[in-house]
């Protein structure tokens, strides 16, 4: 493909060599360079891509996109200097794949919790309404009925645009995608043409990466700041920072709320293990999803469908039949009547929401036993808070491991223990091995009791030192409940 065509829309600050040449591929990892490819030198969190420039030229790269042209140059190579290589990668990836985001309606969903739930419900809803649809999410990606495994919540610009191109080739009219705060800061969504943006909420998470909560808010807001005038920006105004998201957007501003005034309104009439009964924009509807936090997710989905000009009655009829995303408040009942819930709550707010939902819908006398861990190499400040919330809202808590990654799991559990108050100590156990922790919870549970397995949801692995070992909370629970041998 011609380099000039791929450079459309990129602000070049300095250029050495000709842009009138053919290139074969775009690459941001030196280990993947092929002959006549364009290498993007990106400054990352662990290393600086600029250090690999000589090696990539050796391996056949003929164009280098960088933030500083090296002093020692190869005369056969074109050097393109830009302000931000990651942002240039986003724009050039879009051009390289034929700008697929402008050939369908792309809706981005951002927020601390609820992204996967909202995106998955939108995908299922629009499929049921008869459309061809794509989904980009933490659990998995979809092109209609085809499933493509997901590695990140929001993929890198090359994977992302390649996926969107495949969606266009499969005639998809819509794509619903999660937009993580990492993706915004790292320019993974640069150059995409969004038709809409949805905000769920913002609470404590990822402070290892963003450092301050203010930076985290700014990252989410930057997504809305970048939306075009033709798009809509739908926000949850019950969230303290919901309106902040809309402050500088050019997009058409829309709101949803349970408590405040909003363009889309709902009221929880009943919340039980059987689901939610809502008054949604004046219609009385039962939904299969459990927990009042899901009333927000359902309302966000409903609002998005209305903004995409779907028929209200058809939308509510289909939505009322849908189940949520895998590993989000999924529950199993043992033969003895113990209820096990698998949930992806991995932030203080999510843990509190899921436990308060359990408190709302429990019958009264049964105990709630929570098994919970915190991820390694991730926000350490949320560890004691998650343990504290778990203790405050449960009768028994077992602190355990959740993807220790390169950290010592014992140390992570000790960080969590710091959040356990002296009065809560008596209801807490620490069992580092997650399987043992789940087994113990099952031994402690009596008929009617509720076990919450928090943090891993759909994940089928435990990540230790770069290796993903098979581990599935649901499978372990089913074994303990004697539902599988
Ligand atoms: C912290 C983070 O987001 N890291 C992502 C980032 O890597 P990085 O900035 O650390 O890259 P680096 O290792 O410093 O390298 C810098 C540059 O040099 C290049 N390089 C590196 C080594 C080499 O030998 N040659 C070479 O060219 C790299 O390709 C990169 O371009 O860019 C990489 C390429 O796109 C990502 O794979 C990587 O995701 C890591 C694996 C990760 O775990 N990310 C998580 C935290 C994440 O992104 N999570 C969010 C959302 C979470 C949520 O749902 O709430 C997500 O969207 O999934
Ligand atoms: N609207 C919501 N408000 C608060 N908590 C929620 C909400 N929706 C879901 N949760 C809780 O957060 C967990 C994660 O939900 P979900 O996977 O939909 O969020 P996410 O934003 O995609 O998360 P991630 O950033 O890890 O991909 C759920 O298992 C549930 O405990
Ligand atoms: N997308 C989230 C997932 C966390 C899930 C939890 N199981 C963990 O590993 O901490 C993250 O990267 O922070
Ligand atoms: Mg997600």
Quick check: 411 pLDDT over 80? Answer: yes
Give CA separation, 27 vs 55, 93, 239, 331, 367, in Å.
13, 10, 39, 43, 53
Looking at all shown ligands, the one closest to residue 118's CA atom is 2
Which of 108, 112, 114 most suits a substitution to test ligand 2, by most atoms within 8 Å of the C-beta?
A: 114
Q: What SS3 state is found at 249?
A: coil
Burial of 269 (0-12, 13-18, 19+ CB in 10 A): middle
Which tens digits make up the pLDDT trace of 113-146?
999 999 999 999 999 999 999 999 999 999 999 9
Confidence tier at 64 by pLDDT (50, 70, 90)? very high
Looking at all shown ligands, the one closest to residue 343's CA atom is 2
Task: Give the DSSP H/E element, type plus range, for residue 209.
Answer: helix 207-210
Instruction: Give the side-chain half-sphere CA count within 13 A for 428.
Output: 25
Residue 83: other Cβ atoms inside 10 A: 11
Which tens digits make up the pLDDT trace of 321-347?
999 999 999 999 999 999 999 999 999
Quick check: 363 pLDDT over 90? Answer: no
Quick check: 484 pLDDT over 80? Answer: no
**Is the interface score ipTM higher than 0.85?**
yes
- Helices and strands, number each (H, E), in the chain: 15, 24
Pocket of ligand 3 (CB under 6 A): 153, 346, 375, 378, 402-403, 455-456, 459
The predicted model gives 43-67 an average pLDDT of 97
Q: What is the DSSP letter of 187?
A: T
Quick check: 439 pLDDT over 80? Answer: yes
The predicted model gives 201-225 an average pLDDT of 94
Report the pLDDT value the prediction gives residue 457, as an integer from 0 to 100. Answer: 98
400: Cβ contacts below 8 Å, ≥ 6 apart: 371, 372, 373, 413, 430, 431, 432, 433, 434, 437
Q: How far is 234 from 256, CA to CA, in rounded Å?
A: 7
The predicted model gives 353-358 an average pLDDT of 94
Q: How far is 255 from 262, CA to CA, in rounded Å?
A: 5
Report the pLDDT value the prediction gives residue 105, as an integer from 0 to 100. Answer: 98
Q: Please, what is the average pLDDT of the chain?
A: 97
Looking at all shown ligands, the one closest to residue 152's CA atom is 1
Our measurement of the distance from residue 252's CA atom to the centroid of its chain's CA atoms, rounded to an integer in Å, reads: 24
Report the pLDDT value the prediction gives residue 278, as an integer from 0 to 100. Answer: 98
Quick check: 320 pLDDT over 70? Answer: yes
Distance of CA 412 from the midpoint of ligand 1 (Å): 23
Which of 152, 188, 208 most suits a substitution to test ligand 1, by most atoms within 8 Å of the C-beta?
A: 152
The predicted model gives 383-406 an average pLDDT of 98
Compute the Cα dihedral for 234, 276, 446, 471 and give only its sign: negative
Report the pLDDT value the prediction gives residue 485, as an integer from 0 to 100. Answer: 56
Our measurement of the distance from residue 392's CA atom to the centroid of its chain's CA atoms, rounded to an integer in Å, reads: 27
Instruction: Give the side-chain half-sphere CA count within 13 A for 259.
Output: 8
Pocket of ligand 1 (CB under 6 A): 28-31, 42, 44-47, 49, 52, 138, 152-154, 156, 180, 182-183
Q: What is the DSSP letter of 286?
A: E
Compute the Cα dihedral for 402, 407, 410, 413 and give only its sign: negative
Report the pLDDT value the prediction gives residue 483, as an integer from 0 to 100. Answer: 86
The predicted model gives 142-163 an average pLDDT of 98
Radius of gyration of the chain (CA): 24
Distance of CA 19 from the midpoint of ligand 2 (Å): 45
Confidence tier at 406 by pLDDT (50, 70, 90)? very high
Burial of 44 (0-12, 13-18, 19+ CB in 10 A): exposed
């Amino acid at each position: 493909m011609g380099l000039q065509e791929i450079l459309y829309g990129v602000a070049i600050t300095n250029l050495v060599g000709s842009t009138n040449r053919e290139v074969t591929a775009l690459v941001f990892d030196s280990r993947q360079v092929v002959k006549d490819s364009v290498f993007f030198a990106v400054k990352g969190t662990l290393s600086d891509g600029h250090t690999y420039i000589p090696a990539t030229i050796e391996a056949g790269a003929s164009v280098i996109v960088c933030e500083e042209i090296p002093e020692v140059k190869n005369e056969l190579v074109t050097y393109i200097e830009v302000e931000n290589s990651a942002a240039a990668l986003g724009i050039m990836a879009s051009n390289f794949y034929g700008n697929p985001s402008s050939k369908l309606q792309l809706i981005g969903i951002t927020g601390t919790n609820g992204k996967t739930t909202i995106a998955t419900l939108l995908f299922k809803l629009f499929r049921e309404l008869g459309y061809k649809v794509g989904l980009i999410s933490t659990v998995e990606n979809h092109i209609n009925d085809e499933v493509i495994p997901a590695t990140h919540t929001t993929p890198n610009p090359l994977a992302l645009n390649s996926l969107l191109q495949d969606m266009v080739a499969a005639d998809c009219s819509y794509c619903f995608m999660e937009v993580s705060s990492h993706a915004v800061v790292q320019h993974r969504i640069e150059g995409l043409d969004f038709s809409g943006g949805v905000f769920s909420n913002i609470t404590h998470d990822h402070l290892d990466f963003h450092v301050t909560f203010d930076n985290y808010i700014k990252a989410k807001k930057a997504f809305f700041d970048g939306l075009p005038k033709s798009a809509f920006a739908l926000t949850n105004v019950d969230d303290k920072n919901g309106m902040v998201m809309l402050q500088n957007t050019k997009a058409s501003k829309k709101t949803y709320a349970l408590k405040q005034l909003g363009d889309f309104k709902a009221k929880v009439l009943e919340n039980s293990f059987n689901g939610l009964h809502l008054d949604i924009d004046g219609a009385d509807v039962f939904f299969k999803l459990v927990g009042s936090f899901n009333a927000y997710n359902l309302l966000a989905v409903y609002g998005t469908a209305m903004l995409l000009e779907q028929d209200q009655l058809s939308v509510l009829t289909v939505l009322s039949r849908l189940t949520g995303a895998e590993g989000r408040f999924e529950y199993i009942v043992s033969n003895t009547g113990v209820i096990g819930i698998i949930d992806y709550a991995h932030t203080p707010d999510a843990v509190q929401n899921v436990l308060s939902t359990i408190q709302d819908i429990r019958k009264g006398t049964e105990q709630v036993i929570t098994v919970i861990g915190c991820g390694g190499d991730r926000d350490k400040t949320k560890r004691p808070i998650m343990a504290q919330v778990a203790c405050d809202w449960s009768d028994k808590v077992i602190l355990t491991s959740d993807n220790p990654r390169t950290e010592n799991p014992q140390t992570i559990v000790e960080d969590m223990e710091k959040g356990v108050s002296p009065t809560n100590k008596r209801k807490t156990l620490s069992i580092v091995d997650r399987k043992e922790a789940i087994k113990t919870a099952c031994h402690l549970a009596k008929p009617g009791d509720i076990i919450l397995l928090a943090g891993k949801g759909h994940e089928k692995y435990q990540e230790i030192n770069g290796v993903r070992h098979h581990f599935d909370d649901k499978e372990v629970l089913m074994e303990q409940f004697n539902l599988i041998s």
